[in-house]
Every structure is written in structure tokens, then in C-alpha cells.
Amino acid sequence: MRCSRGGNVHLHILGICGTFMGGIALLARAHGHRVTGSDANVYPPMSTQLAAAGIDLMEGYHAEHLRPAPDVVVVGNALSRGNPAVESMLDTGLPYTSGPQWLAEHILRDRWVLAVAGTHGKTSTSSMLAWILEHAGLRPGFLIGGVPGNFGISARVGDAPFFVVEADEYDTAFFDKRSKFVHYHPRTLVMNNLEFDHADIFDDLAQIQRQFHHLIRTVPGNGRIIVPAGDAALDEVLAMGCWTPVERLGEAGDTVWRAAEVETDGSGFDVICEGRRTGRLEWGLTGRHNVMNALAALAAARHAGVPPRVGVEALAAFAGIKRRMELSGEVAGVRVYDDFAHHPTAIETTLAGLRAKVGDARIFAVLEPRSNTMRLGVHADRLAASLAAADRVMMYVPPSLDWDGEAALRPLGTRAVVLDDVEGIVTAVAAEARAGDHVLVMSNGGFGNIHRRLLDAIGGDGSHE
């Protein structure tokens, strides 16, 4: 069954409030289909996007959510056997598919797909790329695991031919253990970096590299692959076999794309393409990682026909992404930021960017180790070093955590404290914070609405209690 625009098809999406599956819901709704969905955790920004699109949300995973029977069930990768909705779907013989498969068959077919993969920076680079194409008048479609400020939505169908997709290496569904990105068949592929992650489904880096090579196998010979220079893990993947021209980027060396005269905090740099300066980008983002993300987006956009100078103009007006160093608010001279960082490398680079921006001002790092990999303790031995740039560290450790949070942060001495409830963190930060401080909250979940509670507590209105 192919869902054409205007078709009267009812899709029910299991796991609809995840960023990816929520994007699928928005795309299906834009095609004129009836969309409903179930999820165990409903919170903004995705829940508000879905409600605004007229999509009915149901709390939990109950068999009755599938009555009357939808035409097809789209199953998110968080769902597994034993889930009541999944068992009902199988028992009653309902047609079902995965989110990536539905996307490939009904949205990406006949499109020029620009995919952004890698352990870090996928959301930022995808958002930059979509905005560059938009600025150039190309009105791309996109599906991004976040909400770009320039668009205010995480997904749209857009106009042919271009479609930007954040290409995740996580598995597809309980019935399809391939990485999501093997479904997308990109013509333009960005691979930002590659480290070990997703320890709940991968045993080691080599397993992830194998999936990345499956992705490379799908890129046509007239396509383009864009990678940073000097990433050993990606170089090993390319050495397995590559049939597509490769463009490399960096800050030094003989690369097609290079950043020069880079400001310490990454807020400005010259863009060099094939040895020629194409412009200087002055923008609102910080961090050397975002410099590399920008070069990757510029390179991908050029492959789609956008001149580098136009790309630089676009990025100068790039508004960032929700939950990526997003300023939640400022009260009593204290700034509170929301960031998605949940891997030691991302934590370290995010803190480095903030440190370069604020100089000697105090930084409070508030961390929730929420991802599957972090909860398993795979990166526990790297946590202290990744948080070293912060003046104070407060980590939330729920009772379900299987590793010793205090031991992991012991190298930080008295700078770090481990707490087992969100309210305790709010109280501790509010007691210590003073004008000029910066509070960086890092989590890939809702974290008990801690950002608002921190601002309320620091402001002294007591509404967090």
C-alpha cells in the first residue's frame, strides 16, 4: 500500500512522541491521511506539534487503541514483543511496518535524499542543511530529530526534489534490526563522526561500523560522501569499500573544505572551499564542533547546487535548534540552558563551547544520564573528564541506575555532587547560583521540567515546590 497525497488512509503510530516517529506522523498528516498514535511519555515539543497538526494522542499502549482497526500500524523502535499493543496487532493480523520503511516507500521515493549520519551533530547539521536549501529557495522536505528554530517544526514534505533526513544508526524495529539509515538510499551523505554508542544494541564499535558500511553501499556513484579528515573510525569504514566521490573537511591540511581564522568560541570563521575563501561566517552558535557541522552542511548543499557564498549567508541567519544550547531563560542574572548532550564527547564539546563564550564566569553542569548507553554505565569512566570544564557538577542518579555515580565523578572532588531527586538539584542550584552564572542542563528527556523549575527557584517565586 502506497500512501499518495490525499489518500484516505488511517495510520496508527506506536511510539508517536519520539522525535522520529512524531516526524513520520506530521509527514503522513501532510499527505492527507488520518493519523492517530500511542505513547507512554507525552511531553513538548513533540506533543504540541502533533496536537497543532490535529493528530489524536493516546496515553499508554492498550489493545483498544487499535480498535477500530487502522489501515496500517507504524511501529516505533522503542516497542518490543510483550507490549500489549504489539501483541494485539500481531494476534489480529493488522498490517504493520516500521517508521523508516514507511518513510522510504511513501516520502523518499523519487526524491534527492540528503542524509546526515554520525554519533554527534546529526540534528544540528541536518537543520543547518535544510535551512541553507530553504534560504536558496529550494523548499526542501525534511525529517529532523529536533525542532530547527528557522522552521518551528521537525518535519515537512516540502517540494521535490530535495529531502533532508537525520540518519540514525539505531535499529529500525523489533522485526527489523538493521539501522534505520539503510532504508534511506541517500544521494548526498554526511558522516559527521563515529564513536561507540547505543550499547543496548551494539556490542562494539565494529558492529556500528558494519552498519555504516551498509549505508555507504547504498550511495550511488554519482552521489557524494562528506566526512571530516582524521576520523579513524570513519576512515576504517571507507576502507571497507567506497564507490562514491568523497569530500573531506577540517581546520587544517589538504581538505576540500576548511575553516580558517576561527574565533576561540567558534562564533566566527572563514570558509575555504577548494583553496578559495568563499566568505566569513559570523553567527550565533558556539563550539568547534559546530564549525565542523557548518562545513558539512555547506558541502552537502553545494552538491545539491547551492553556491557556498549563499550557504554562508544562510547560516548567518541560522536560528539554532530547540534543546541544543537553547537558552531556557534568564532570571536574577543567571542564565539557564537546555542541551541534549548525553554522551561524554557531546558533553565535553558543549561545555567547551560555553566556556569559550563566557570566559571565567561560573558554569553549573546539571546532568541526567538517561540514554540507554549511559544507563548501562558504558561511558562512566569518561564522565568526569567530559565535565571538567564546569565549576560545579550536579548529576541526577535515579535508583534504577546500575553503576556508581559518586565513584564516576570522584575525580572532580568537591566540585561534583550526586543527587537522587530532581527537587534536590533545583534546591542546590538555587542556593548557590548568583548573577553572572550559567546553568547548563544536559538530558535527552524531559528531566522533570527542571529548566522551568530552576528559573522559578532562582527567581524566588517558590513555584517549583
**Has residue 454 got a pLDDT over 50?**
yes
Instruction: Quote the pLDDT of residue 436.
Output: 93
Confidence of residue 7 (pLDDT cuts 50, 70, 90): low
Question: Packing angle between helix 288-303 and helix 122-135, nearest 10 degrees?
Answer: 50
Over residues 293-317, the mean pLDDT reads 97
> Where in the chain are the domains?
10-98, 110-316, 326-459
Instruction: Quote the pLDDT of residue 132.
Output: 97
Is 3.40.1190.10 the CATH classification of the domain at 110-316? yes
Domain range 10-98, CATH class: alpha beta
Sole residue written with cell 534490526: 177
**Has residue 155 got a pLDDT over 50?**
yes
The number of beta carbons lying within 10 Å of the beta carbon of residue 358 is: 16
* CA distances for 345 relative to 21, 121, 179, 321, angstroms: 26, 11, 22, 19
Q: What is the spatial distance between Cα 45 and Cα 32, in angstroms, rounded to a whole number?
A: 22
Find, among 342, 292, 353, 294, the residue nearest to 318 by Cα: 294
Instruction: Quote the pLDDT of residue 4.
Output: 42
User: Per residue in 34-58, pLDDT tens?
Assistant: 999 999 987 766 788 798 888 999 9
Over residues 106-132, the mean pLDDT reads 95
Over residues 205-232, the mean pLDDT reads 96
User: Per residue in 85-115, pLDDT tens?
Assistant: 999 999 999 999 999 999 999 999 999 999 9
β-pairing verdict for 188-191 and 224-228: parallel
Instruction: Quote the pLDDT of residue 379.
Output: 67
Over residues 301-328, the mean pLDDT reads 89
Looking at the whole model, is its pTM more than 0.85? no
Find, among 312, 292, 278, 347, the residue nearest to 116 by Cα: 292
Over residues 160-165, the mean pLDDT reads 97
Residue 76 grid coordinates? 516505533
**Has residue 6 got a pLDDT over 80?**
no
**Has residue 368 got a pLDDT over 50?**
yes
**Has residue 455 got a pLDDT over 60?**
yes
CATH architecture group of domain 326-459: Alpha-Beta Complex (3.90)
Q: Which residue has the higher pLDDT, 399 or 307?
A: 307
User: Per residue in 373-421, pLDDT tens?
Assistant: 566 666 677 888 889 999 999 888 887 777 777 888 889 899 988 888 8
Instruction: Quote the pLDDT of residue 464.
Output: 36
Q: What is the spatial distance between Cα 212 and Cα 231, in angstroms, rounded to a whole number?
A: 14
Q: Are 233 and 199 in contact (CB under 8 A)?
A: no
The string over 122-135, giving b where at least 16 C-beta atoms fall within 10 Å of a residue's C-beta and e elsewhere, is bbbbbbbbbbbbbb
Over residues 265-280, the mean pLDDT reads 94
Over residues 185-206, the mean pLDDT reads 87
Confidence of residue 343 (pLDDT cuts 50, 70, 90): confident
Over residues 153-177, the mean pLDDT reads 94
Q: Are 202 and 208 in contact (CB under 8 A)?
A: yes
